[in-house]
Amino acid sequence: MTAAIVDDAIRSRMSVRAFLPKDVAREDIEAILDVASRAPSGTNCQPWKVYVLQGASRDALVDKTCAAHDAIRANPELAAQYQEEYDYYPAQWVSPYIDRRRKNGWGLYGLLGIGKADKDKMHVQHQRNFRFFDAPVGLMFTVDKVMGRGSLVDYGAFLQNIMVAARGRGLHTCPQAAWNGFSSIILPHIGAGEGEMLVCGMSLGYADPDAPVNTFHTPRVPVADFTRWME
């Protein structure tokens, strides 16, 4: 194993937001989940539960969630019905995170020619999340609510493994917290048990190489900015 191969798999991962209508082999999905499950987890709890949506089950979830998303647009009071089960983002944004978030959001919308006042276009672009960005495979991840917050740390390792293993098979992904507010639609749809909480969703498929949105590459702060060396 060389650093170059591992680094390339990690560096070539990006959030893809336009996929080709090309099926993904079940063997590939299974192999990705199998290798991803080598992720470490505290005391080897392996807290992940995965739901793979394809075909009619995928399409039906897309329809239901897009309808709810449209309904909220028409009547914003409905948003109160759709609550996230855990805080993915902070209640109060502070610098430098708010600055990075804005740069990311406006970078993406700028690339797509969506201005601050283009609420219709913004809604359509946001709704692309609930179409899995046209990916043929949608993944939903849940965790048993009895588990501690540490399980979300374990989950991060598992999710990253999926995204990197996908690269090894020519596939791309987009992790999606956008679904989290719609767990009241998603959990019954996938048949999740009473005690399960939605962690996030993910699109999986082959990237559309011609889609401008997929030319969006995000920067990172240099190592020196987030690391302190102590001797």
Ligand X SMILES: Cc1cc2nc3c(=O)[nH]c(=O)nc-3n(C[C@H](O)[C@H](O)[C@H](O)COP(=O)(O)O)c2cc1C
Single residue of 62, 71, 177, 192 touching ligand X by CB under 6 A: 177
Is 203 a binding residue for ligand X by CB under 6 A? The answer is no
Q: Which of residues 98-137 bind ligand X (CB under 6 A)?
A: 104, 129
Task: Name the segment binding ligand X (CB under 6 A); options: 13-21, 31-39, 60-68, 185-193.
Answer: 13-21
Selection from 208, 204, 185, 199 nearest residue 48 by Cα? 199
Among positions 29, 165, 166, 178, the unique one binding ligand X when judged by CB under 6 A: 178
Query: Near ligand X by CB under 6 A, which window of 26-34, 43-51, 57-65, 170-178?
Result: 170-178
Q: Which is nearer to ligand X, 140 or 231 (CB)?
A: 140
Question: Counting contacts by CB under 6 A, is residue 14 touching ligand X?
Answer: yes
Residue nearer to ligand X on the CB measure, 8 or 26: 8
The neighbouring-strand residues paired with 173 are: 15, 204
The residue count for binding ligand X (CB under 6 A) is 12
Structure tokens at 177: 């917290």
44 burial (CB, 10 Å; 0-12 / 13-18 / 19+) is exposed
Least gap, CB of 16 to ligand X (angstroms): 8
183 is a site residue for ligand X (CB under 6 A): no
Query: What is the CA 25 to chain-centroid distance, rounded?
Result: 20
Residue 163 CB, shortest distance to ligand X, in Å, is 8
176 binds ligand X (CB under 6 A): yes
15 binds ligand X (CB under 6 A): yes
Select from 28-36, 43-51, 56-64, 168-176 the region that touches ligand X (CB under 6 A).
168-176
**CB 200 → ligand X: shortest distance, Å?**
5
User: Using CB under 6 A as the criterion, which residues of the chain lie in contact with ligand X when the complex forms?
Assistant: 14-15, 17, 104, 129, 174-178, 200, 218
